Structure 1
Amino acid sequence: MEQRLYGIRGATGCINTVDDIEAQVRALYDGLLSLNKLPESDIVSIFFTMTADLTACNPAAALRKQGRAQQCALFVCQEPHTDGALPGIIRILIHGYLPVGSNVQHLYRNGAEALRPDWAGTSGREGIFFINSDGKDP
């Protein structure tokens, strides 16, 4: 099966504790892999950003601590401060190989849905929504 490299996006809200950051990063990562049927072996790299108010732990370190993403490059940076930005947000961009023509699904959860009001579809679960690469609710 022919594959190509895709960018898979998501975000989650968290509170500034090690336990919550670890839990929210795990839920976001696992959700994206599950939605897209993406095995870890097909991930090339993962890029995280986090808002400046999240200082308890690094999301890449949290993922590695959980034994995940051991064979790919991870990178984290702080989001630039902008007026009106949501606090307590971690964003993720996964670069991974999927079959050509895949309908990539992005996941926004735990308050991060507000980042993409233009994608107002919901999954039917409170506080979580995901969208297809065509911008439509799956």
Structure 2
Amino acid sequence: MNVIRGATSIKFNDYDSIKKSILELYNEILNKNKIEKVYSIIATVTPDITAFNPVTFLRKEFNLNDVAFMCVQEAMFENSPKKIIRLLINCESETSNFIYLNEAKKLRPDLMGE
């Protein structure tokens, strides 16, 4: 089993922005990794994301009905970034390339060159 992490940001707390960002993130994770089977996905969202649950899009768009999903609110600390969605994917994969998109790139400057 392997674990793959990823994060992205949304521009607006609305249905379209959440959908666009989460689908872009998951597609990029799939493109950069050789995932054979997904067992579970844990998502966190910052408290300012309230318009829609992002994992609902993943379940529907990728037909992940047999995958265990959990979405929880991210803990907030002083100077925490806003409008961030994070994913933790438990899967069978030959690779474990972490993906950070949009404003979430600032969370992992060590991965900026990838």
Q: How does 1:88-107 map to 2 (within 5 A)?
A: 88-99=83-94, 102=95, 104-107=96-99
Rg larger in structure: 1
Unmatched 5+ residue regions in structure 1?
Answer: 123-136
The one-letter amino acid paired with 2:9 is: G
1:78-93 alignment to 2 at 5 Å? Answer: 78-93=73-88
Deviation of 1:70 (Å): 2.1
* TM-score (structure 1 length as normaliser): 0.76
Q: Over the residues paired in the alignment, what is the CA RMSD in angstroms?
A: 1.4
How many residue pairs match? The answer is 113
1:121 aligns with 2:102: no
Higher relative contact order (CA 8 A, sep 6+): 2
TM-score normalized by the length of structure 2 = 0.91
Selected match of 2:54 from 52, 59, 68: 59
Deviations 1:47-97 (A, max 9, x none): 000000011100111222324422210100000111100000000000110
Q: Which runs of 5+ in 2 are unaligned?
A: none
Identity percentage of aligned residues: 35
- Helix, strand or coil at the partner of 2:23: helix
* Runs of 4 or more above 3 Å deviation: none
